[in-house]
Homo-oligomer: A and B are copies of this chain.
Amino acid sequence: MVDKNEQEIQLLEEELMIKAITEDNMEELRNQLLELHPYDQAKFFSKLSKVERTQIYHYFSPEEMALIFENIEIDETEYEEFLSEMHPSFVATMLSSMYADDAVDLLNELDKEQVASYLTIMEDGAAREIKDLLHYEEYTAGSIMTTEYIAIKEYQTVRSAMQILKAEAPRAESIYYVYVIDEDKRLAGVISLRDLIVTEDDTFISEIMYDRVMSVSVSEDQEEVARKMKDYNFLALPVVDFQNHLLGIITVDDIIDVMAEEASDDYSKLAGVSDMDGIDKGPLAAAKKRLPWLVILLFLGMLTASIIGRFEATLDQVAILAVFIPLIAGMAGNTGTQALAVAVRGIATGDVDKESRAKLILREAGTGVITGTSCGFLVIMVVYVWKGDIYLGILVGISILITLIVATLAGALVPLLMHKLNIDPAVASGPFITTINDLISILIYFGLATAFMHYLVQ
């Protein structure tokens, strides 16, 4: 109920704002739009037509547009389109007003030439800050940190720290932790705003700061940063170089975005979609993303077909063998996907390391034996009851047993191997392991059938 109302109010407000744009009523539009949370401003802005957007650029300052672009969710081509509609110097001022990390995110969507041209006309200080951040490799702590933190010295008092904090609050991305640095800019401690406001004004920072401050290295993987933030419940983490110099901070809101991105990435890879295609894209875009995988899998499937082709003599003699092909191949794929997911997840969370690798393999082998034996027995009984042929039952049952052991192991081994070769294990998707396991299972099934042929044709 509440939600329904909320939605209706939002729609009404949007209509009013569109009306204000059409009627060229700048004051009304500014009143309405600036009342909204920046995320909602950005959502509204990204829905507008080109003509309407142009009016927005006239009504709002670069500083106000900065807030919108810090919160907007659009794709690469839209970034280029929107920015090309504004005057370059307007864009430059807007970029200087954005938090450095958000400006860097935006610039990463543009091509190098454009970035260079904006940086040239930008105010020097802001341009340097952004240039430094643009250097860091994607997916590292450096690439998501911001340089707008608050730093103090340990010989200061709480009073002077609060003064610095008040002065820098409008500009700093997070004011809830204040970092203590020494003369060389080395990170020496941290103190939370919570502690600052409950402490006497004359206390020295050195007396109350926490000196076992947790930090991340600038080259650390962003997933590792997310893990630390999650485990320790921080709102921000300082980023340092290898000599412990404070370079920037990573705030929790950016980590939430990292987590959502990584989760969606792992999920789509498990399903064999290299990059999740949003449902707003057309079928052509979707097909383009899925076809590469499908074609690879098609050729793997052809390989499986050619293996069955080699057993044509066996098939000709005992045509009923064909009946159980999808069952055996399917079970191999299913158990492989299960083992794969556990291994990929274990590697991602850091639970699987060098020491525990052997343990995981043993465990998966054990799991394969248990599930294989259970399913194998079940199959023997069902096939015997159904077809009245105990030999066929035993053949299919034993094939399932061996297949499940091998397929479970393969599901765990492939990601482990990839991880060792420094390939992202998540690339070994469910469909990939399923198709590999199809192939293995067919080899096992027809191999066994050919070897014990005389029992089947009697």
Contacts and interface: CB of A to CB of B under 8 A. Distances in A.
Contacts of A291: 370-371, 374-375
Contact of A217 (B3, B166, B276): B3
A interface SS class: helix
A33 interface: no
A334 B263 contact: no
Nearest to A263: B263
Given A169-B194, A287-B367, A434-B333, A315 B319 contact: yes
A198 B166 contact: yes
A404 B439 CA distance: 20
Interface residues of A, number: 122
A283 B363 contact: yes
Given A169-B194, A259-B260, A319-B322, 17 more contacts: A166-B197, A193-B197, A252-B256, A255-B256, A263-B267, A270-B270, A271-B340, A273-B338, A276-B342, A294-B404, A305-B323, A308-B326, A309-B323, A326-B329, A326-B442, A329-B330, A333-B431
User: How many copies of the polypeptide does the oligomer hold?
Assistant: 2
A31 interface: no
Question: What 9 A-B pairs are tightest by C-beta distance, nearest first?
Answer: A283-B366, A271-B341, A263-B263, A322-B322, A301-B327, A287-B370, A334-B431, A233-B253, A283-B367
B341 A276 contact: yes
Contacts of A126: none
Contacts of A334: 272, 293-294, 297, 431, 434-435
Interface string A332-353: 0111011011100110000110
